[in-house]
Amino acid sequence: MRRVLIVMENEDALVESASDSASLQVDDETGDIDVEAYGYESTRSIASASKQAAELPANMMIDDTYPAVPIGDGKSDQGFAAVEPSESANFVVRAVVPEEIAMEGYVNGKPVYSDIDIAAFPICPGDPAHGDADDVRTLHNMAAVHARGHRGDRVAVAIMDTGISAAHLTGLGLPNSAVDRSVLWNPIEMIVRQGRAIPAGGHPAGHGTMCAFDALIAAPEARLLDYPIISQMGGAGGSSIMAGALSDALKAYSDLEAFWSVSFGPNRQNYDSLVVNNSWGVYHPDWDFAEGHPGRYIDNPDHPFNQRVASLAARNVDIVFAAGNCGSECPASKCHGVVTHSIRGANAHHDVLTLAGVDVSGGRIGYSSEGPPIPGMGADEKPDLACATHFQGSNVGGFPDSGTSAACPVAAGCVAALRSGMPQNTLASSAMFDALRQTTQEAQAGSDWNPQNGFGIVDMDAAANHLGI
């Protein structure tokens, strides 16, 4: 049996499931929730109430813990109204099907898409840290930008990861307000399993907390949005089990887009810009369907998650992804020696900024995945840029902040700091990324793109000057 995503056309059972899951009622003191109000009961009814579900093979099971996700017509230029549950032309549901049905690519004429496993991009502990957060600030020329007042004010940084420990961040001297506790998101199966939601910032210290700390190095006044799409067992080191499902990332992106467009987006009370950090990806192509399958994820722009990435980017949201840890010199064990085209899926999407890792002296980190990326995603030159990693930072588990997992939020923080001087309604996301590519330390020296570090190491001050801030 295989977990997959199925696209279904609009009908009442799907609308009800999607609508109910959009409103999470939580007791502020206990964290207890009304599970039925979060869409569990209406989601469980999809299998019985949906006419389309009734037409599916008897050995195909709709996942009763996964709310229907409205995707509209799947086009990136559709307005937000097109993905409101009542108006959405199509929805994604999660199901389990026999392997032979999954391999065929269609069920009763409905596309079957991969719900691939995803994993965080840390590196096994071993090598000591090189430098600290101050060295990161120096490498990326942050001080002058901070002195001009660009420190991430009125910018939200969504951490799509294992969850954030606000208590750990506070213990490092960061403000208690760093995490926006008004934005609460948990995978519904986590809520059903526990009977309660984990508040934003209430997760154990781990990989997501490391990412949160690293984003605040460049943008200390940004606010963090906590999206725990990856399950965590253990600390930040390589002994941890940190894995999730692409379907949870899809649901999180769908809810984030709704929140941004309706609740706290541009020209509203809280924020002017949104940056999304993604320190996760796919270590090996065998995690996905075989090459040529119509529902494959890693090289398919039409996969529902890749379409959602394009949709969010079209709203000038800055989306940052880690390149991965399958570099040719010392790839992570999960890569199983596959180091070619190891930047895959949304990490290779042409609308995102993809980060390689360097040490605080600017030297290449051998585990950082190299380009070119997997063909088919519309980008020939990935990674885009390089940022610092393998430094002493968050001190989660006593390990260095490592992997392209750390380089990614360092870059997300740089973008957030620049956005406090150039909000997203004044500059397209693509133009922001171009400014960063054109002003790297290597670009200033006349160098072009290379497979290891992309266009080079981020120079925040040069980018700010280029943007006139």
Express each pLDDT in 64-115 by its tens digit. Answer: 888 899 999 877 677 778 888 999 999 999 999 889 889 988 888 878 999 9
Q: 41-45, 114-118, 145-149, 306-310: which range is least confident on average?
A: 41-45
Q: What is the pLDDT of residues 249-260, one digit of tens each?
A: 999 999 999 888
Ordered by start, the domain boundaries in the chain are 2-115, 119-467
Using the predicted structure, report yes or no on whether residue 142 has a pLDDT greater than 90: yes
State what percent of residues in the chain have pLDDT above 90.
Answer: 70
- 296-301: which pairs have CB atoms within 8 A and are 24 or more residues apart? 296/114, 297/113, 297/114, 297/116, 297/246, 297/345, 298/116, 298/344, 298/345, 298/374, 299/344, 299/345, 299/348, 299/374, 299/375, 299/376, 299/377, 300/376, 301/349, 301/376, 301/377, 301/378
- Residues 321-332: tens digit of each pLDDT: 999 999 999 999
Least confident of 34-43, 55-64, 150-159: 34-43
pLDDT-derived band at 236, boundaries 50, 70, 90 = very low
Q: What confidence category does residue 234 fall into, taking pLDDT thresholds of 50, 70 and 90?
A: very low
pLDDT of residue 197: 82
pLDDT on residue 192: 72
Q: How confident is the model at residue 240 (pLDDT cuts 50, 70, 90)?
A: very low
- Which of the two residues, 302 and 48, has the higher pLDDT score? 302
C-beta pairs of 176-179 under 8 Å, 24+ apart in sequence: 177/223, 178/212, 178/216, 178/223, 178/224, 179/212, 179/223, 179/224, 179/225, 179/226
So what's the pLDDT on residue 265? Answer: 59
Closest to 419 (Cα-Cα) out of 388, 456, 457, 463: 463
What is the rounded average pLDDT of the residues 259-272? 74
Q: Can you spell out the DSSP letters for 189-243? A: HHHHHHSBPPPTTBSPSSHHHHHHHHHHHH-TT-EEEEEE-EEEES-SSTTSEEE
- Tell me the pLDDT tens digit for each residue of 170-197: 999 999 999 999 888 998 777 777 777 8
Examine the pLDDT at 145 and tell me if it is beyond 60: yes
119-467, CATH topology level: Rossmann fold (3.40.50)
